[in-house]
Structure 1
Amino acid sequence: MLRLPFSRALGAFHASELVYLFQRPWVLSGDAPFTPAQQALANTLQDYWGAFARTGDPNGGGRPLWPRFDGETPLTLSPHRIGTTPDFVQRHRCAFWDAHADTAATSEQPSSR
């Protein structure tokens, strides 16, 4: 796992991939360069996003196949690997949200006046 210097307290937060996408290392904490592994991840992420923007398909260019999203299989991207994460729910502590999802979806909503 590649850690940003400021990520320990924040964890995997929304938009944390933008540091890699725009190759602006350590936007929030100075200008330390990427490690070779982080640079490889940034290059690969840019290649996937660029191919998807150009063609609607992130695959090609010798990159590992990015499978079509099916809503059932969480995927992870790391240098030289894309794969499933079978224990995603446990690792990300989703049991709490799963337990309350039905309640939230069926609870009575406030009426608008």
Structure 2
Amino acid sequence: MEAASVLWEAITKHFEAGDGINPDYLLRELMMRMLQPNEKVDAYAEDIELKVTKLRQAKGDFADWQQASLLLSNSVRVFPDLTRDACALRSISDSSWSRNPSQRVVPLPKSRM
């Protein structure tokens, strides 16, 4: 019986290091978070920001460009045109991306009214 408690202690110590937050679980939760059709974009962006902050506090690496990319890619069901345009713009080679400042801004799609 003692071996089981020692094993359990080792497992919990490994997975709950520090403040008990596992960055892998936070990252998975962040990557799975999709913008829902009736959800406000502000609420979605704030939720992503909160999750990224928690991940960074748990010593998980997540760069600003990754956060921006995630916001776009996980909103593809609601804004397919914006996501497609942003991906097409980003496919410009990195050298021309950095040389041409006018291409650094993602244009908003034109209204279809």
TM-score, length basis structure 2: 0.29
The structure with the greater share of residues assigned to strand is: 1
TM-score by length of 1: 0.29
Greater Cα radius of gyration, structure 1 or 2: 2
Identify, as 1 or 2, the structure richer in helix: 2
